[in-house]
Amino acid sequence: MKRFIVLFILTALAVAIAAAQLKQNLDLLKGDAQVLTTIIKVPTIVCGSCVTTVTKALKNVDGVKTAKVDLKKKTATVKYTSAKVTLEKLENAIADAGYDANSVKRNPEAYEKLDACCKTDTKK
């Protein structure tokens, strides 16, 4: 009886390990294996509305896992799947929302659509 229990436990453990390896292999095939983190400078954000807009723009990019925008530091910390998105795409998403992102300048048309409180050229 003890042998049966030990054999059962070992079999269950082997199945669990095989399942974990299979999941890891499937993740590799899907391209989910490399999740990277980057910090993007967003110097033109000035208020909570800006934070919301930039966060939403980043989260709408396919491959973004998380996006956290820090108003005080004027940065966006983004975790993303490298197989689906690049830093350039992240920067362009922010620029297309009306804000500068690293060295990428904001989209002027998107900037004009921002609330007055979000426009840096009206600040003194």
Q: Radius of gyration (Cα) for the chain, nearest Å?
A: 22
Instruction: Report pLDDT for 111.
Output: 95
What digits encode the pLDDT tens for the residues 5-63? 877 786 876 666 766 677 766 665 555 458 899 999 999 999 999 999 999 999 999 99
Instruction: Report pLDDT for 94.
Output: 98
Q: Is the pTM of this model over 0.75?
A: no
Q: Do 55 and 17 contact (CB within 8 A), yes or no?
A: no
CA geometry: angle at 50 spanning 82 and 83, to 5°? 5
Instruction: Report pLDDT for 88.
Output: 96
What digits encode the pLDDT tens for the residues 85-116? 999 999 999 999 999 999 999 999 999 999 99
CA geometry: angle at 111 spanning 83 and 55, to 5°? 40
> What whole-number distance in Å separates Cα of residue 8 and Cα of residue 101?
56
What is the architecture of the domain spanning 35-122?
Answer: 2-Layer Sandwich (3.30)
Q: Where residue 123 falls among pLDDT bands split at 50, 70, 90?
A: very low
Instruction: Report pLDDT for 124.
Output: 41
